[in-house]
Amino acid sequence: MSSKKTLKEILNETKKCFLVPCVYDCASNRTVEMCGFPVSLLSGGEVSISLNGVIDYGFTNLTDLEWVVSRASETSSIPLIADIEDGFGGPLAVYRSAKRLAAAGAAAIQLEDSADMEESTSILPRDKYLAKVKAAIEALKGTNCLLIARTNADPDIPQEMEEGCERLKVAMEMGADIAMMVKITTYETAKKMAKIVPGWKIFADVRADNGVPAVTMEQLTELGFIMCSTHYTMKAAMEGMLEHGLQNYKNQSVAYTFTHASGTGKPDFSASPLFAPQDYLELENSFTGSDKEYTIVGHHVDGYPAEFKKIDIKDRL
């Protein structure tokens, strides 16, 4: 039996707001889990870059997202939140999307109130958005998948800030589980939202300019925020690949890669050890009675780095 906790169980147990990294594939989700984060959030923008090679402009479809969600959630022990943009259409499309993504393993879906990617700065009329919320709530009944109601309302425009908060309040009263106003970036605007919107809230994409966080987890906890999302995985991955790439290209050698390991401290020619490959073979050996070991083209693969969190292989398959 799996020991995985649902997102709702984790949120009910936590006493303070915590950081939730945005991920885009199985590997980025794996690193987040290894570092001890309890929850991850699949970024629509970064999925588009990694899967399609283009910016987030509506190029990812439901089938693409379903594919990524199923693989990332099935190979991880932590709940995965899925950004489903506008739900790929009207209420009926939202209903179908919510059903399919819950079945694919999403722990929550994040539904925004923009009409489409080309008009992502314009929010839908309240009644049209709430119809989508109603469809999602109905679709998720009987599942462990939560609904995050998200507004793209601009907090710098007083009338829009008020409208965004009011529609989130109604969405929560209708049965949405968590609320998010994605353009809030400061403690003061978070405070304004907290006065109107009840229940669990997410602070989106926290910044840290000049090394100073825009808000702290303690401040957000006081305001009723339960999670705080952040983007770092793709930037960190690209920075690392560019660092190694520049050196390996310059030297026409992979010596740099074989001597530098800023994350694990264990230089190797492959990332395979981070996926604990021997655990897979041990499970197979328990079925076959053999003593097969995992190698890469006959080369020994180092063991899993002990300083990182490790999960039972049965929670990965």
Residue 305 and residue 228 in one domain: no
Rounded CA-CA distance 25/251 in Å is 30
Rg value, the chain, Cα? 21
Token pair recorded at residue 303 = 């063991």
Does the pLDDT at position 158 exceed 60? yes
Confirm whether 242 is domain-assigned. Answer: no
* Backbone phi and psi for residue 269, each to the nearest 5 degrees, phi listed first: -90, -5
What value does the mean pLDDT take over residues 73-80?
95
Residues in a beta bridge with 197: none
Find the range with the poorest average confidence among 3-12, 59-68, 113-122, 176-185: 113-122
Question: Does the predicted model carry a pTM greater than 0.75?
Answer: yes
Rounded CA-CA distance 99/109 in Å is 10
Domain tally, the chain: 2
Give the pLDDT of residue 249.
97
- Residue bearing the bigger pLDDT, 170 or 299: 170
Residue 273 and residue 221 in one domain: no
**Domain end (from 192, 220, 235):** 235
What CATH number did the domain enclosing 196 receive? 3.20.20.60
Give the pLDDT of residue 314.
84
Considering the chain, what is the average pLDDT of its residues? Answer: 93
Are the C-beta atoms of residues 163 and 183 closer than 8 Å to each other? no
Confirm whether 285 is domain-assigned. Answer: yes
Spell out the residues 6+ positions from residue 15 whose beta carbon is closer than 8 angstroms to its own: 221
Does the pLDDT at position 45 exceed 70? yes
Give pLDDT tens digits for 225-240: 999 999 999 999 999 9
Residue 129 and residue 223 in one domain: yes
Confirm whether 214 is domain-assigned. Answer: yes
* 147-177: burial string, b at 16+ Cβ within 10 Å, e else: bbbbbbbbbeeeebbebbbebbbbbbeeebb
Dihedral of the CA atoms 20, 144, 33, 28 (nearest 10)? Answer: -80
Does the pLDDT at position 200 exceed 60? yes
Does the pLDDT at position 3 exceed 70? no
Find the range with the poorest average confidence among 109-123, 153-167, 206-220, 263-277: 109-123
Residue 310 and residue 187 in one domain: no
Residue 231 and residue 274 in one domain: no
Q: What percent of the chain has pLDDT over 90?
A: 77
Does the pLDDT at position 187 exceed 60? yes
Residue 14 and residue 141 in one domain: yes
Does the pLDDT at position 175 exceed 70? yes
Confirm whether 250 is domain-assigned. Answer: no
Range of the domain at 87: 7-235
Find the range with the poorest average confidence among 20-29, 178-187, 203-212: 203-212
Give the pLDDT of residue 264.
86
Does the pLDDT at position 287 exceed 70? yes
Residues in a beta bridge with 180: 150, 202
Give the pLDDT of residue 108.
98
Residue 213 and residue 272 in one domain: no
Residue 147 and residue 50 in one domain: yes
Give Cα 274 to chain centroid, integer Å: 20
Dihedral class, residue 64 (left if φ above 0, else alpha if ψ from -120 to 50, else beta): alpha
Give the pLDDT of residue 122.
81
Confirm whether 99 is domain-assigned. Answer: yes
Rounded CA-CA distance 71/240 in Å is 24
Find the range with the poorest average confidence among 34-38, 83-87, 250-254, 257-261: 257-261
Confirm whether 253 is domain-assigned. Answer: no
**Domain end (from 235, 253, 286):** 235
Residue 135 and residue 280 in one domain: no
Give the pLDDT of residue 1.
45
Q: How many CA atoms lie within 13 A of 108 on its CB side?
A: 29
Helices (H) and strands (E) in the chain, counts: 12, 12
Question: Nearest CA to 82 among 23, 28, 34?
Answer: 23
Banded model confidence at residue 58, pLDDT cuts 50, 70, 90: confident
Residue 216 and residue 297 in one domain: no
Banded model confidence at residue 118, pLDDT cuts 50, 70, 90: low
Confirm whether 86 is domain-assigned. Answer: yes
Confirm whether 54 is domain-assigned. Answer: yes
Does the pLDDT at position 51 exceed 70? yes
Residue 293 and residue 145 in one domain: no
Rounded CA-CA distance 176/108 in Å is 11
Residue 303 and residue 188 in one domain: no
Q: Report which residue type is found at 87.
A: G
Does the pLDDT at position 317 exceed 80? no
Does the pLDDT at position 67 exceed 70? yes
User: Beta-strand (E) ranges in 66-211?
Assistant: 80-83, 108-111, 146-151, 178-181, 200-203, 208-209
Write the burial class of residue 61 (CB in 10 Å: 0-12 exposed, 13-18 middle, 19+ buried): exposed
